[in-house]
Amino acid sequence: MPASTSPGPSGRWLRAVEDHPPACQPHPPHDPLQPDQGGPGRAGGGSTSEEHAGRRVRLTPASAIRLRRVSWLWEGRIPTGAVTVVPGREGTGKSLLLAWLAGQVTRGELPGCREGGPRAVVYAASEDSWAHTIAPRLHAAGADLDLVYRVDVEQNGRISQLTLPLDCAGLATEISARGAVLLAADPLLSLIHSSIDTHRDRDLRTALEPLVALADSTGCAVVGLAHFNKSDSTDALNLITGSRAFSAVARAVIAIARDTEADDGSCVLSQAKNNLGRLDLPSLRYVIDSVEVATEEGPASVGRVRFSGESPRSVTDILTAGHTDEESRAERHAAADWLADYLTQSGGAAPWAEIRTAARAEGITPRTLQRARPRAGVTTTREGFGSGAVWRLDPDPQSRHSRHSRHAAGAGANGATVAPMGSTPNPLTPHQAPFAPHSRHSCQDPERGANGANGATGPDPSTGDPAGTP
């Protein structure tokens, strides 16, 4: 099996394993160990006389720095040249989502600056078997397997897994040589060197900061999966297992949670942090279908993510509902009926501010109204910069009913079969297509610093109210 190798420290060689030559133009190799890149190949540690030799402080005027706009691998959600963390509980399809993302990138179908051009993906996964799980999932997700590279490390004739920050230098060389635009880490925590205490912020940064420098120097988007801890917090950033450095170093965090109130067993994806863009992006809903992949040994059953549209409930809503339930189900049902009647009498749509005022007059709290909105079949839009949200009633009563009366048994019960591995994958259905928050083709820099550097939660996208508004 052909493989390219890059030298690393102490005889370690990085192997980008492939079955066929890549179908992309490589970028010129970049040496991430140059002093002006921050040295992502170093793990940090105490100073030595060699480190001090030739060191000097250098000041650069801001006027000498070339201004650049932010570009997005996934428009508005995943920035290029930065680290994005995707946390969630077990059983929410995080790994399947990462396979979906790789599939979109290798087919050139992800809305963002790489749309229209298939690009390579470096895939670092340690928890699942490539033959039994990862490759079949990628195939089911429609990925071009010639453009997905498993990464191994060879040292003194032995093969081991990628380790951070030890292998950052070799990894950066391979990413640049392949022209890879996505480094998928499943999970990110497993790549951290065993000697690093991942619960100590300062220790963890010795591995994460070189990874940040690698992303910046190569322009590659790094997307790492993470698990939620056992905490009872309703803040997705506080729930990430390990040190707070995971969420602090990441420029974007996309949280995932299963919606326990959804009859179809669907999950919700929400932007929990976005230092480089807007935070008030719509949450997305997806289900996990069971599909068959043909192998030489017979059919194999794997999961595949299928997006179904925007979600009126966010991950924060789901986490909060799991701890508090101030209103009964009967109250929510009554609120949903009231909301449907109110919007019908208002011509099918009304500003959120007016709905909130009218509901309070009827003794319905905004929180109850928010949780009743999905049952009423109401969607939200914003019709201009700075304007408030508008709630709209689905004009099709049958559609409203079916949206909230489907059973979980319907998910994945279509008996879908994927083409044999090695053949051209089935075209993606419209439900599998990704959703762009704004323009599908724009790489314009959105409103930067919408949430500041502290990962603030920002306004509720469905209402325009500040987060936590009662």
pLDDT for 183 equals 98
Amino acid at 304: R
Mean pLDDT computed over 453-460: 46
Candidate from 3-12, 81-90, 359-368, 420-429 with smallest mean pLDDT: 420-429
* Distance (Å, whole) CA 424 – CA 145: 10
* Distance (Å, whole) CA 353 – CA 457: 20
Residue 147 has pLDDT above 50, yes or no: yes
Residue 27 has pLDDT above 50, yes or no: no
Angstrom distances, CA of residue 359 to CA of 319, 332, 369, 448: 24, 12, 8, 35
pLDDT for 456 equals 44
E-strand ranges in 80-206 read 83-88, 120-125, 148-155, 158-160, 180-186
Percent of the chain at pLDDT > 90 equals 56
* Distance (Å, whole) CA 193 – CA 208: 11
DSSP result, 200-211? SHHHHHHHHHHH
58-65, long-range: CB < 8 A, 24+ apart:
none
Q: What are 130's two structure tokens? A: 């490539």
Q: Could you tell me the pLDDT band of residue 416, with boundaries at 50, 70 and 90? A: low
pLDDT for 97 equals 98
- Asked if residues 448 and 345 have their Cβ atoms less than 8 Å apart, the reply is no
Candidate from 292-301, 330-339, 356-365, 387-396 with smallest mean pLDDT: 387-396
pLDDT for 44 equals 43
Q: Could you tell me the pLDDT band of residue 4, with boundaries at 50, 70 and 90? A: low
pLDDT for 407 equals 35
Q: What share of the chain is helix, strand, coil (3-state, %, to 5)?
A: 30, 25, 45
Q: What is the pLDDT of residues 227-266, one digit of tens each?
A: 999 877 889 999 999 999 999 999 999 999 999 888 899 9
* Distance (Å, whole) CA 290 – CA 177: 36
Closest CA to 378 of 331, 411, 410, 346: 346
Mean pLDDT computed over 95-122: 98
pLDDT for 367 equals 82
Domains of the chain, start order: 3-42+68-320+410-454 (3.40.50.300), 326-403 (1.10.10)
374: left (phi over 0), alpha (psi -120 to 50) or beta: alpha
Q: What are 355's two structure tokens? A: 């709905």
pTM of the model: 0.68
pLDDT for 247 equals 94
Q: Could you tell me the pLDDT band of residue 49, with boundaries at 50, 70 and 90? A: low
Phi and psi torsions of 137, nearest 5°? -65, -45
- The distance of Cα 172 from the centroid of its chain, to the nearest Å, equals 21
DSSP character for 241? S
Q: Could you tell me the pLDDT band of residue 42, with boundaries at 50, 70 and 90? A: very low
Tell me which range, 121-125, 359-363, 447-451, is most confidently predicted by mean pLDDT.
121-125
pLDDT for 6 equals 58
Instruction: Starting at the earlier edge strand, list the strands of the sheet with 378-382.
Output: 349-351, 389-393, 378-382
The mean pLDDT value of the chain amounts to 80
Angstrom distances, CA of residue 105 to CA of 23, 101, 181, 438, 448: 13, 6, 8, 19, 24
48: Cβ contacts below 8 Å, ≥ 6 apart: none
